[in-house]
Structure 1
Amino acid sequence: MPTKYKLEYIWLDGYTPVPNMRGKSRLASERPKSVEDLPEWGFDGSSTRQAEGHSSDCVLKPVALYPDLARDDKSYIVLCEVMLPDGTPHPTNYRATIMDEPDTWFGLEQEYFLYKDGRPLGWPTDGFPAPQGDYYCGVGYQNVSDVGREIVEKHLDLCIAAGINHEGINAEVAKGQWEYQVFAKGSKNCADGIWVARYLLSRLCEKYGITVQLHCKPFQGDWNGSGMHCNFSTKYMREVGGKEYFLKLMDAFEKNIDEHIAAYGPDNHLRLTGLHETQSIDKFSWGVADRGASIRVPHSFVKGDKYQGYLEDRRPNSAGDPYQICSRVLKTIAEVPTK
């Protein structure tokens, strides 16, 4: 029996405001060495809100390749862009059209809830758990439930094996809430890593009968929502910086507040209330080590009055499209001259 390699082609569908991940397996007789070795493939777009039934063919164009050790050492995940039959990007293909710059570095902090039977993992069937306080970076069954840590540890190992540059993981402020951080150079690289990490987590959770909840505010009241804080730095910010440039950059972010909120994920008005470590959705502020600011400035950035390094936009939410989030940040940065 000849050796077969399993290639899981994954893509984003046409659902709004948040696309779903789709995937199907292709078998190959040779091990792919790079994304260039992979052929284009197709799917029925009428089943994913990406085509009409009378002309349903859509094209999958491979753009990134990841080892898939959740299956075996002969398996790969193939991240794809969706194309029209004429070779142009599908209207739902944001990756093909976003602003990208390899010298701009991004770190995205993906928060999420694990859900079991319609409730966050570890919550009682009726009512609520103990108030927030002990859960953040918590230890013990009473704080992280029975399988929460097992899932996030397995997910971390799968992502590392896939070559996704994870920077860390932790339990978050609300019970059943977790976070992982991905760092990469360039919008596409970082966003690719987040989408593939989301895919791996959802597929892993199938084995446990658990759902990954990405909504930014699944429970109203005195409970934290979920963000996807966007840490970013350009080569100029890292190597030159300066207070004058920084203040002009903050002016540009304030001027574009509506554009940023539109790109930062749905239902953010439920999360950005001015409570639970957020700034109100209709306001813009920055502050040193201020978790309630729109943009948090690390102490290291202002040390020695250099205003040099990276910044953290705390407004993007957990269900946002990382392609659009990173691209919007780049567009605002591009408005501010460096000379």
Structure 2
Amino acid sequence: MAQILAPSVQWQLRTKQTSMSASSITSKMWSSLLLKQSSKVAVKSSAKFRVLALKSDGSTINRMEDLLNLDVTPYTDKIIAEYIWIGGSGIDLRSKSRTISKPVEHPSELPKWNYDGSSTGQAPGEDSEVILYPQAIFKDPFRGGNNILVICDTYTPAGEPIPTNKRHRAAEIFSNKKVVDEIPWYGIEQEYTLLQTNVKWPLGWPVGAYPGPQGPYYCGVGADKSFGRDISDAHYKACLYAGINISGTNGEVMPGQWEYQVGPSVGIEAGDHIWCSRYILERITEQAGVVLTLDPKPIEGDWNGAGCHTNYSTKSMREEGGFDVIKKAILNLSLRHNEHISAYGEGNERRLTGKHETASINTFSWGVANRGCSIRVGRDTEKQGKGYLEDRRPASNMDPYIVTSLLAETTLLWEPTLEAEALAAQKLSLKV
């Protein structure tokens, strides 16, 4: 099993002197054969994750690392594109690779592709072909060079979006002129939990037992308080390398739980960036031998759940008089509370209990600086009379395409009846 260490520009292997035999080859000889290059070609190494190589039974260093990190750009224009899509559960990520003849700058330059939808729960066996449409590209932090990660959505051969393709509907909402003119911004706080691979128990916890109660772990420092920092840091740098608009990271309230933030992102870009960041996190935990879960309540009892708080603003909210616009948006959100809750993630009822910095799933509420409400408004927003709102209801496993587009639809396109609006305003003490 390979272990991820800190990113490093130079690759270093820990070697050990071994005796020569007919069945073994020295490190120097292997490197000479594998990495010999023309003196006319200068190969520049890029920052990558450093991996400790395992040793074979014969104490010969495993050279897979050298092969994984060969820089092929001096020898070919071809690149590797990793096509990524969402599987049948609506939360599982799938991917496969193909060779592209030259570097690309826009998804429109990439060919459509297909996969076996019957193996992902997205098509019947007798008509299993699902078509991948490239929609967004990011630099590949695992392969480096000109290689790319490609976020795709999914269609039938006839060109119809399949039921699990939530991006298609989101793109329609974000292309509406009313929405475009308001330039919706999103800042998404993705929480996640790291589990030990064999026991599915949080990283750093005693197997079958519990650590000390919550308190010292949030943004904590130290071997007895922070578990998985290397994974969080590796993910942070990989996202920056990829071009994801990641804006920060921190340890969370429950030990073994972390958070990172993406944004501000505009429109459909928010969903693309979150899905790509999740893919990168899955790949890093795969390499580290740690299990990633986005379950909104991974441990029952007096432990915080995992959410995906979504900060949202429009152009009108960010301008003078924006606080009144925010209150009108809150009113609309209150009237569609059930529609939002039903789309905000599987198992969210186990998290939204009214405890552990959450509101009850059955009751809509809002407040200034109150993390126990459905919608929180910051003190600065209240003071300045403009800014943003935070929707604290989405679960960690929510689909960002659904959540971001639903917020835009409810606050910019949907109009309640005058009677419902008046009743909601009175109930929430909102004057709009």
- Measured against the shorter chain, the TM-score band is over 0.9
- Give the 3-state SS of the residue equivalent to 1:330 in structure 2: helix
Distance 1:234 1:243, change over 3 A: closer
Q: Deviations over 1:281-327 (max 9, x none)?
A: 011111111110111110111105x2x11110101010010111111
> Is 1:269 aligned with 2:346?
no
Q: Select the residue among 169, 191, 210 that pairs with 1:97.
A: 169
**Contact in 1 for aligned 2:323/2:381 (Cα 8 Å):** no
Cα deviation for residue 140 of structure 1 reads: 0.8
1:138-287 equivalences under 5 Å are: 138-145=220-227, 148-287=228-367
Larger Rg over CA atoms: 2
**Contact in 2 for aligned 1:249/1:336 (Cα 8 Å):** no
Partners of 1:235 and 1:242 in 2: how far apart?
9
Cα deviation for residue 36 of structure 1 reads: 1.6
Q: Select the residue among 67, 71, 79 that pairs with 1:5.
A: 79
**Contact in 2 for aligned 1:113/1:213 (Cα 8 Å):** yes
Partners of 1:276 and 1:51 in 2: how far apart?
40
Partners of 1:156 and 1:300 in 2: how far apart?
28
Cα deviation for residue 67 of structure 1 reads: 0.5
Structure 2: gaps of 5 or more residues? 1-74, 417-431
Partners of 2:88 and 2:109 in 1: how far apart?
27
Match of 1:323 in 2: 401
Partners of 1:124 and 1:187 in 2: how far apart?
42
RMSD: 1.6
Match of 2:370 in 1: 290
**Contact in 2 for aligned 1:107/1:231 (Cα 8 Å):** yes
Partners of 1:7 and 1:150 in 2: how far apart?
27
Identity over the aligned pairs, expressed in percent? 46
Partners of 1:79 and 1:303 in 2: how far apart?
40
* Greater relative contact order, per chain length (Cα 8 Å cut-off, separation 6+): 1
Match of 1:134 in 2: 216
Partners of 1:279 and 1:86 in 2: how far apart?
44
1:68-87 equivalences under 5 Å are: 68-87=140-159
Match of 2:68 in 1: none
Match of 1:21 in 2: 93
Q: Select the residue among 329, 332, 335 that pairs with 2:410.
A: 332
Partners of 1:284 and 1:248 in 2: how far apart?
15
Distance 1:107 1:57, change over 3 A: same
**Contact in 1 for aligned 2:201/2:208 (Cα 8 Å):** no
Partners of 1:179 and 1:190 in 2: how far apart?
16
**Contact in 1 for aligned 2:185/2:313 (Cα 8 Å):** yes
**Contact in 1 for aligned 2:326/2:389 (Cα 8 Å):** no
Cα deviation for residue 32 of structure 1 reads: 1.3
**Contact in 1 for aligned 2:80/2:97 (Cα 8 Å):** yes
The TM-score with structure 1 as length reference comes to 0.94
**Contact in 2 for aligned 1:285/1:294 (Cα 8 Å):** yes
Partners of 1:22 and 1:97 in 2: how far apart?
21
**Contact in 2 for aligned 1:112/1:226 (Cα 8 Å):** yes
Cα deviation for residue 244 of structure 1 reads: 4.1
1:117-132 equivalences under 5 Å are: 117=198, 118-132=200-214
Q: Which moved more, 1:179-188 or 1:104-113?
A: 179-188
AA at the equivalent of 2:120:
T
Q: Which moved more, 1:315-324 or 1:33-42?
A: 33-42
Match of 1:34 in 2: 106
Partners of 2:111 and 2:264 in 1: how far apart?
26
AA at the equivalent of 1:9:
Y
**Contact in 2 for aligned 1:137/1:170 (Cα 8 Å):** yes
AA at the equivalent of 2:166:
Y
Distance 1:221 1:72, change over 3 A: same
Match of 1:111 in 2: 191
Distance 1:234 1:242, change over 3 A: closer
**Contact in 1 for aligned 2:79/2:101 (Cα 8 Å):** yes
Cα deviation for residue 90 of structure 1 reads: 1.7
Cα deviation for residue 248 of structure 1 reads: 2.8
Q: Which moved more, 1:224-233 or 1:237-246?
A: 237-246
**Contact in 2 for aligned 1:187/1:323 (Cα 8 Å):** no
Partners of 1:207 and 1:251 in 2: how far apart?
46
The TM-score with structure 2 as length reference comes to 0.74
AA at the equivalent of 1:128:
Y
- Runs of 4+ in structure 1 deviating by more than 6 angstroms, as ranges, are none
Cα deviation for residue 3 of structure 1 reads: 4.3
**Contact in 1 for aligned 2:245/2:265 (Cα 8 Å):** no
Partners of 1:227 and 1:166 in 2: how far apart?
17
